[in-house]
Amino acid sequence: MRISYSRFNTKSELDKEIRITFLKKAIEDTFSEDEITFVDVINKFERLIQQYEIIVRAYIEELNTEKIKYDYEKRIQEINEKLSSMVGDIHTKQIILPIAFVIGIAQIKPDTSFFIAIMIFSGLSLFTSLLTMYRNTQTKLIQTIEKNVEYWEDFYKTNLKSLYKNDISSRINNIRDIIEKVKDNMYHTIFFSWTLIILFLIYIIFQYSK
């Protein structure tokens, strides 16, 4: 049991998912019954382990450099597309944000009531709060991407020929640079947003304290 546990005791969640998939297939191949008891598992434990090893070996034997290289190119492209989409989305919000504040301030005229001014301020604050929530969600997504990048970097460096290792390092570093830019853009967008909110509040206080 200790040997079996060590096979699944890995830090990579993605690696765990792959191994669990292999184990499920091994269970399906080993047991024909619809319901499996603990006694069934004990009685056929060695057979189950053997079936698991067969499935893992079959998977490894199917891997070849060209197939892995194609898979690597596809994953790199998917990650780049996802990050590019995030960057474009952030840039859109960076454009919308100052426009929203300009429109909000333009609505406040000498005869505008304090209540209306507060409503405009509340609306802009709500918009910025939603933007902050969006940033938190995107941060979690970025963390997931980073973990996957780390896992696949190790996998491809192990399974691709040395010819491609420099290319892998170069592309992975490029992805990490984009990730850092996304993080910086999100941080500066939120910082700029709340700075404008504070300045707008100061403007309202100054305008209506006369």
Under 8 Å between Cβ of 201 and 121: yes
DSSP tag of 161:
-
**Close Cβ partners of 81 (under 8 Å, ≥ 6 residues apart):** none
Residues 37 and 90 occupy one common structural domain: no
Which of 45-59, 72-86, 113-127 is the least confident region?
45-59
CA distance 178 to 93: 18
Q: Which amino acid is at 166?
A: N
Residues 82 and 150 occupy one common structural domain: yes
Residues 10 and 50 occupy one common structural domain: yes
pLDDT of residue 16 exceeding 70, the answer is no
Instruction: Say which residue the tokens 């405009």 belong to.
Output: 120
Share the mean pLDDT of the chain. 75
Residues 183 and 119 occupy one common structural domain: yes
CA distance 137 to 3: 38
Q: Model's pTM, two decimal places?
A: 0.55
Question: Of 62, 78, 101, which one is at a domain's C-terminal end?
Answer: 62
pLDDT of residue 106 exceeding 50, the answer is yes
Residues 47 and 72 occupy one common structural domain: no
Residues 73 and 32 occupy one common structural domain: no
What SS3 string covers 99-121?
Answer: HHHHHHHHCCCCCCCHHHHHHHH
Q: Report the share of the chain in percent with pLDDT over 90.
A: 0
Burial category of 139 from C-beta neighbours within 10 Å (exposed 0-12, middle 13-18, buried 19 and up): middle
**Close Cβ partners of 182 (under 8 Å, ≥ 6 residues apart):** 83, 86, 87, 90, 138, 142
Residues 82 and 156 occupy one common structural domain: yes
The domain containing residue 52 runs over which residues? Answer: 2-62
State mean pLDDT over 198-207.
84
Name the domain count of the chain.
2
Question: Of 29, 62, 95, which one is at a domain's C-terminal end?
Answer: 62
Question: Of 37, 62, 87, which one is at a domain's C-terminal end?
Answer: 62
Under 8 Å between Cβ of 170 and 78: no
pLDDT of residue 176 exceeding 50, the answer is yes
pLDDT of residue 154 exceeding 50, the answer is yes
Residues 54 and 155 occupy one common structural domain: no
Residues 73 and 177 occupy one common structural domain: yes
Residues 154 and 192 occupy one common structural domain: yes
Residues 57 and 145 occupy one common structural domain: no
Residues 81 and 57 occupy one common structural domain: no
- Beta strands per DSSP E along the chain: none
Out of 14-23, 32-41, 190-199, give the one with best mean pLDDT.
Answer: 190-199
State mean pLDDT over 85-112.
77
